[in-house]
Structure 1
Amino acid sequence: MKPYHSIALVLIAHAAAQEPPVIVEEHVAPAPPPVVIEEKVVPAQPPVVVERVHPLDPALVRRQLAIAPKVIEVREKPAVVLPPTHVETTETHIIEDPALPPRIYNVERNVVIVEGRELPYVTIPVLFVKETAELLDSESRTALEETAKAMLEVLQTSPDAGFDVEGHTSVEGTDEFNLQLSAARSRRVYDELTQRYGVPVSAIGAHGFGEKYPNHPNGSEAELALDRRVLVVRVK
């Protein structure tokens, strides 16, 4: 064998003995998209504002409670037969109650007629926590304080004067619940006027009438709010 043949065989054997080169392919995973956290901005809720239907007018309270009750002549009107489809609405309402004499409220003149006597009254703009007898705010207490001042002024000039606190509700809810609620609220006002502001207990009483005397039995929410009321009536 020729020498160069030997060299060629050695080179071939050496090449065969070497392992083939390993090719490593590097796969770079793409970066994940950034996580976007959406922050929902909830707008701040405006505070609940309770608007008083009848702001207190201290001068009007004094004038109204200074009016003594008077006897009036009640004339019975002849009965009028109306067609079945006709519905008559008035500014006053008469509700018959076997336990109490009927009461006629004239909301324009702020008087209630009971057994032939015309009794002046004022509506106190007190607000209560829903379905309770708890006073809602300081403005309610201010209204009670001003009302008490007016009552005490009347008693200075008319020592025999007498008053009654009336609680009323709208027609929403059951009769029993509304009666209890109106009684509790009238009692709360009575306690405030006597215990906190010095109105003599001998000059004042309190009664709850529930939903017996609504001015707006089929009214809107604003009108129903007018029926949730507390009155101070000059009864003597």
Structure 2
Amino acid sequence: MKKVIFLFVWALLSLPALVSASVINAQSYTKSNNSDILAKDVYKKAKLEGVINYQVFEEGFNAYYKTQQRKKQLLTIIDFSKPSTQKRFYVIDLRTNRLLYHTYVSHGVNSGGKVANRFSNTVNSRQSSLGTFLTDTTYYGGNGYSLRLDGLTKGINDNARRRYIVVHGADYATESFIRRHGYLGRSWGCPALPEELSKEIINTIKGGSVIYAHA
């Protein structure tokens, strides 16, 4: 009986230490459980393997993770390392872990032909910009229904507003254009999408979601 009482008292005295150790371990795990672990989890659940390169996705996810101004759990990635003849525009729902859109997107006329290899933050350069963007409001302009972007990467894309870099639809961002010319049509620096999808995509990502352009 004395032995049982002793073990019970020992367990009570040891409990705070065990709880404290558990909390410390949990805190350590949480500290290490940053965007890298989360990115791998999303990549797997959204079934992105073979669809988008993991390193490119991880870069985009890190950009999303660091953007405190974001208002939507959406991440759009533009992979300019791919030629324009390939679908390189991705919209990923990070709340449901689903790939919502995967389509074509143009690059700037002075960024290259089939492949974009020159990028700029300069007004009137007619080149695409890289880095992290935050979507804003929509409007109707010379390119129809369009989405304003704010460039968040200092010195790389923070002139997006001054350059009128927006998401819009274009009749040259189509498979039929590729079949006729061997490459996708080019913009003046804007990420132009197929017209049949542009409005739907713009309405999905507008109002504070993150776009990350990679090359």
> Which TM bucket (shorter chain)?
under 0.3
* Larger strand percent: 2
- TM-score under structure 2 normalisation? 0.26
Largest Rg, 1 or 2: 1
Q: TM-score, normalised by structure 1?
A: 0.24
